[in-house]
């Protein structure tokens, strides 16, 4: 019999260290998620257009009625829109994870000798890349409609760091939602109920001072507001107060809890 | 000396209050095919999920290639290929990208992943579609790609969960052919199926699973023997001869069907029995129109063992 393509051991795995494979496995799956961005341009376009609509809506329709004191409304707005779009954009992680689950791809990945968080990390990093593109477009549009930031290059780096850290954190929460929801349909509304209050009951579109007292307590102390206020302060020079480090503590705290929890869910209950 | 690639001991699994597996024992010798046969909801997929480390058993042990599925899942994962019930491929990527990705995740080198992807594409007749996104593939093509993905690293042990369910006849034959080639190449295969003919055709041994228990195990022939022997069916020419024919075969375990003018007799032994029976009919002056030897099918086996048909349509909806 001629040597079959199927003969056992006709190919052998490479012998490398565990650490090497940890990077290789997540690298392969990150590459997969990144190529999804290229292959699914419609989705990226849709995700970018929505916040642009929001920006124009608030800039030209509602903005005039919102009092932001000495700061022009468009300058106030950009940080809020940027973080809101990062939060809504993170839901694509939920969608991707739920899709993989539904298609049985997660079962297949779990049957491979690879690192547990590899697939989730792929989607989360894909999310970061998508959000980076989105943010640049948003800032560009902002500049067109009158946004005049005063940030130095160093401050821009800090802004990028905070936005990416926030996206990374919320994407891990989104990964958990994708694993729990188990279907693409339920992910949609779950994500909406999480992200909607967090981004609207915040300092994203209006100063918190005019909100009802109970709402104000929530809005001023929840992580999204800290992230927005920190970014806003760095962009246009409003007082930064405790916002930057509180934002960092929140994000790192969320990552520290959500990442292992998501990995645990992936291993134990990720199937159906 | 036996060399078992898969050993399952008293495997149990509950989902909430539902007992899905109630103590399964099985061994699969290296280089053979075991078909786990059963209706929907019998626990076939649960068994495969435990053996491929996707699910933890509540009790019992399972060893794949000598590795404990609970204690050493990574060693198990390095020894197996899994094809689940769904075509688990990335729809946005092309066929080639899917296979190369799987090769890398099985820890083949980049060069090996490329070569193997090419070989698998050719083997599964997907070369022409290799650079198209998988979402443009037909169901049969997706399934073939799915099976190809589990073979990319040439693992010694393969789990195929209903590999041909929903396939068109051509793709089904292709999958059967591949299974045969895999066995020839030395692989051990554990497959589940609801199709009796599939188990009959592919498997060295068949285990029948029903309500979480193995209710029978053996070769296809052994299982058929359990149900009964071959039967010789005789159709008489004239209706008036029917009673004479019945009297002539009296004593033998006979069944009759007057409408069809047919008498059937269980066969104990060999060809001489056939001759003796025909002689008895001739002596009684019975003219014969037709003669057929009926071998029991696995359908008969299933009906005999479980008291219900292999396919229970009312159970098809699964959680």
The tens digit of pLDDT for each residue in A123-180 reads 999 999 999 999 999 999 999 998 999 999 999 999 999 999 999 999 999 999 999 9
Q: Which pLDDT does position B313 carry in this prediction?
A: 41
Would you say residue A190 has pLDDT above 90?
no
Q: How far is B213 from chain A (nearest CA, A)?
A: 21
With beta carbons under 8 A apart, name residues in chain A contacting B51.
none
Q: How far is A261 from chain B (nearest CA, A)?
A: 17
Residue among A4, A35, A271 whose CB faces B184 most closely: A4
SS (H, E, C) chain A: CCCCCCCCCCCCCCCCCHHHHHHHHHHHHHHHHHHHHHHCHHHHHHHHHHHHHHHHHHHHHHHHHCCCCCCCHHHHHHHHHHHHHHHHHHHHHHHHHHHHHHHCHHHHHHCCCCCCCHHHHHHHHHHHHHHHHHHHHHHHHHHHCCCCCCCCHHHHHHHHHHHHHHHHHHHHHHHHHHHHHCCHHHHHHHHHHHHHHHHHCCCCCCCHHHCCHHHHHHHHHCHHHHHHHHHHHHHHCCCCCCHHHHHHHHHHHHHHHHHHHHHHHHHHCCCC
Encoded tokens for A110 = 């779990």
Encoded tokens for B34 = 């075991």
Q: Which pLDDT does position B2 carry in this prediction?
A: 59
The DSSP secondary structure of B64-113, one letter per residue, reads: ETTEETTT-HHHHHHHEEEE-SS--S-SSSBHHHHHHHHHHHTT--HHHH
- In terms of phi and psi (left: phi > 0; alpha: psi -120 to 50; beta: otherwise), the region of B212 is left
Q: How far is B126 from chain A (nearest CA, A)?
A: 15
pLDDT means per 10 residues, chain B with 319 residues, are 83 88 92 90 90 91 93 91 87 96 94 94 92 92 90 91 84 86 90 87 91 89 76 82 79 70 76 81 84 75 68 40
Looking at every residue in chain A, the average pLDDT score rounds to 89
Q: Which pLDDT does position B252 carry in this prediction?
A: 63
Cβ B183 vs Cβ B32: under 8 Å = yes
Q: Is B223 exposed, middle or buried (0-12, 13-18, 19+ CB in 10 A)?
A: buried
The answer to whether the Cβ–Cβ distance between B88 and A108 falls below 8 Å is yes
Pick from B49, B73, B92 the residue to mutate for testing the A interface (most A CBs within 10 Å): B92
Encoded tokens for A155 = 């401050």
The answer to whether the Cβ–Cβ distance between B107 and A16 falls below 8 Å is yes
The answer to whether the Cβ–Cβ distance between A14 and B107 falls below 8 Å is yes
Q: Which pLDDT does position A164 carry in this prediction?
A: 95
Which one, of A48, A47, A92, A82, lies nearest residue A203 by Cα?
A: A82
Q: CA A195, CA A170: separation in Å to the nearest integer? A: 10
With beta carbons under 8 A apart, name residues in chain A contacting B97.
35
Task: Considering only CA atoms, give the Rg of chain A.
Answer: 21
The answer to whether the Cβ–Cβ distance between B78 and A104 falls below 8 Å is no
A19 interface with B at CB cutoff 8 Å: no
Q: Which pLDDT does position A235 carry in this prediction?
A: 93
Residue among B108, B181, B182 whose CB faces A11 most closely: B108
Our CA dihedral for A128, A134, A135, A139, rounded to 10 degrees, sits at: 170
| Strand-pair partners of B33 | B189
Cβ B205 vs Cβ B34: under 8 Å = yes
The answer to whether the Cβ–Cβ distance between B108 and A14 falls below 8 Å is yes
A14 interface with B at CB cutoff 8 Å: yes
The answer to whether the Cβ–Cβ distance between A28 and B74 falls below 8 Å is no
A114 interface with B at CB cutoff 8 Å: yes
Q: Which pLDDT does position A271 carry in this prediction?
A: 45
Cβ–Cβ contacts within 10 Å for residue A161, how many? 13
Q: How far is A225 from chain B (nearest CA, A)?
A: 36
Q: CA A272, CA A188: separation in Å to the nearest integer? A: 19
Place of tokens 């899905």: B20
The answer to whether the Cβ–Cβ distance between A1 and B133 falls below 8 Å is no
Residue among B52, B80, B154 whose CB faces A6 most closely: B154
A39 interface with B at CB cutoff 8 Å: yes
Q: Which pLDDT does position B314 carry in this prediction?
A: 39
Encoded tokens for B29 = 């010798």
Task: Considering only CA atoms, give the Rg of chain B.
Answer: 24
Q: Which pLDDT does position B113 carry in this prediction?
A: 95
Pick from A9, A11, A32, A33 the residue to mutate for testing the B interface (most B CBs within 10 Å): A11
Could you tell me which chain B residue has the CA closest to the CA of A119? B105
A4 interface with B at CB cutoff 8 Å: yes
* Least confidently predicted of A33-37, A58-62, B108-112, B114-118: A58-62
Could you tell me which chain B residue has the CA closest to the CA of A10? B154
Encoded tokens for B143 = 């399934």
Q: CA B145, CA B123: separation in Å to the nearest integer? A: 10
Pick from A33, A103, A108 the residue to mutate for testing the B interface (most B CBs within 10 Å): A108
Place of tokens 């059937």: B264
A25 interface with B at CB cutoff 8 Å: yes
Q: Which pLDDT does position A253 carry in this prediction?
A: 97
Within 8 A by CB and 6+ apart from A112, the residues are B77, B102, B105, B106
Residue among B84, B93, B187 whose CB faces A104 most closely: B84
Q: CA B158, CA B104: separation in Å to the nearest integer? A: 18
Q: How far is A140 from chain B (nearest CA, A)?
A: 30
Cβ–Cβ contacts within 10 Å for residue B316, how many? 11
Where does chain B show beta strands of DSSP type E?
Answer: 4-15, 18-29, 33-37, 59-64, 67-68, 80-83, 157-161, 188-193, 205-210, 213-218, 231-236, 254-257, 262-266, 288-294
Q: Is A125 exposed, middle or buried (0-12, 13-18, 19+ CB in 10 A)?
A: buried
Locate the domains of chain B by residue range: 4-225, 229-295
Cβ–Cβ contacts within 10 Å for residue A190, how many? 18
Residue among A8, A40, A107 whose CB faces B84 most closely: A107
Size of interface A-B (CB pairs under 8 A): 110
Q: CA B167, CA B294: separation in Å to the nearest integer? A: 29
A267 interface with B at CB cutoff 8 Å: no
Q: What is the ipTM of this complex?
A: 0.87
Q: CA A35, CA B96: separation in Å to the nearest integer? A: 14
A265 interface with B at CB cutoff 8 Å: no
CATH code assigned to B229-295: 3.30.70.100
A105 interface with B at CB cutoff 8 Å: yes
Complete edge-to-edge strand list for the sheet that includes strand B67-68:
B18-29, B4-15, B59-64, B67-68
Residue among B54, B107, B149 whose CB faces A21 most closely: B107
pLDDT in tens, A88-135: 988 899 999 999 988 889 889 988 988 888 999 999 999 999 999 999
Residue B239 DSSP label: G
Q: Which pLDDT does position B237 carry in this prediction?
A: 84
A108 interface with B at CB cutoff 8 Å: yes
Pick from B153, B157, B158, B166 the residue to mutate for testing the A interface (most A CBs within 10 Å): B153
Which one, of A54, A57, A59, lies nearest residue A87 by Cα?
A: A54
Q: Which pLDDT band, with edges at 50, 70 and 90, does A65 fall under?
A: confident
To which CATH superfamily is domain B4-225 assigned? P-loop containing nucleotide triphosphate hydrolases (3.40.50.300)
Count of alpha carbons within 13 angstroms of residue B165, beta-carbon side = 17
Q: Which pLDDT does position B158 carry in this prediction?
A: 93
B34 SS3 class: strand
Count of alpha carbons within 13 angstroms of residue B90, beta-carbon side = 23
The answer to whether the Cβ–Cβ distance between B101 and A40 falls below 8 Å is no
């Amino acid at each position: 019999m001629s040597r079959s393509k199927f003969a056992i051991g006709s190919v052998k795995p490479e012998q490398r260290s565990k650490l090497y494979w940890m990077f290789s496995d997540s690298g392969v799956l990150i590459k997969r998620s990144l190529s999804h961005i290229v292959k699914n341009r419609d989705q990226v376009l849709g995700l970018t257009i929505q916040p642009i609509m929001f920006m124009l809506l608030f800039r030209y329709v509602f903005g005039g009625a919102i009092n932001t004191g000495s700061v022009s409304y468009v300058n106030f707005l950009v940080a809020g829109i940027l973080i809101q779009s990062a939060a809504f954009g993170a839901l694509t992680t939920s969608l991707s994870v739920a899709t993989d689950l539904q298609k049985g791809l997660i079962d297949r990945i779990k049957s491979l000798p690879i690192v547990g968080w590899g697939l989730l990390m792929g989607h989360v990093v894909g999310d970061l890349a998508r959000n980076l593109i989105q943010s640049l477009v948003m800032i560009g549009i902002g500049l067109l409609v009158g946004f005049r930031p005063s940030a130095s290059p160093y401050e821009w780096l800090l802004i990028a760091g905070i936005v990416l850290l926030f996206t990374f954190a919320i994407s891990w929460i989104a990964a958990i939602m994708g694993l729990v929801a188990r279907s693409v349909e339920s992910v949609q509304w779950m994500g909406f109920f999480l992200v909607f209050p967090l981004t609207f009951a915040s300092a994203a579109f209006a100063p918190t001072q005019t909100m009802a007292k109970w709402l104000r307590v929530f809005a001023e102390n929840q992580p999204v507001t800290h992230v927005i206020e920190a970014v806003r302060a760095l962009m246009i020079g409003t007082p930064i107060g405790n916002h930057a480090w509180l934002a960092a503590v929140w994000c790192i705290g969320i990552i520290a809890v959500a990442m292992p929890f998501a990995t645990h869910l992936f291993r134990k209950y990720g199937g159906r | 000396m036996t060399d078992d690639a898969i050993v399952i001991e008293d495997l149990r699994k509950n989902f909430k209050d539902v007992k899905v597996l109630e103590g399964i024992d099985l061994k699969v010798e290296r280089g053979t095919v075991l078909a786990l046969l059963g209706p929907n909801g019998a626990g076939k997929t649960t068994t495969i999920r435990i053996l491929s480390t996707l699910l933890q058993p509540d009790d019992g042990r399972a060893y794949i290639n000598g590795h404990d599925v609970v204690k050493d899942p990574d060693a198990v994962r390095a020894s197996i290929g899994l094809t689940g019930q769904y075509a688990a491929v990335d729809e946005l990527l092309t066929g080639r990208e899917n296979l190369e990705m799987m090769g890398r995740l099985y820890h083949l080198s980049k060069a090996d992943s490329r070569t193997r992807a090419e070989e698998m594409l050719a083997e599964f007749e997907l070369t022409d579609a290799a650079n198209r996104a998988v979402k443009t593939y037909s169901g049969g093509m997706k399934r073939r790609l799915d099976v190809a993905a589990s073979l990319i690293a040439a693992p010694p042990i393969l789990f195929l969960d209903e590999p041909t369910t929903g396939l068109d006849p051509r793709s089904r034959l292709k999958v059967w052919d591949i299974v045969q080639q895999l066995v020839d190449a030395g692989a051990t295969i554990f497959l589940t199926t609801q199709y009796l003919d599939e188990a009959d055709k592919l498997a060295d041994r068949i285990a029948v699973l029903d309500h979480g228990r193995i209710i029978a195990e053996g070769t296809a022939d052994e299982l058929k023997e359990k149900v009964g022997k071959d039967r010789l069916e005789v159709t008489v020419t004239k209706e008036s001869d029917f009673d004479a024919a019945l009297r002539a075969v009296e004593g033998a375990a006979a069944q009759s069907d007057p409408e069809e003018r047919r008498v059937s007799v269980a066969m104990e032994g060999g060809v001489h029995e056939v001759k003796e029976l025909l002689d008895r009919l001739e002596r009684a002056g019975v003219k014969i129109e037709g003669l057929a030897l009926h071998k029991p099918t696995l359908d008969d086996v299933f009906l005999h063992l479980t008291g219900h048909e292999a396919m229970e349509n009312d159970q098809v909806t699964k959680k």
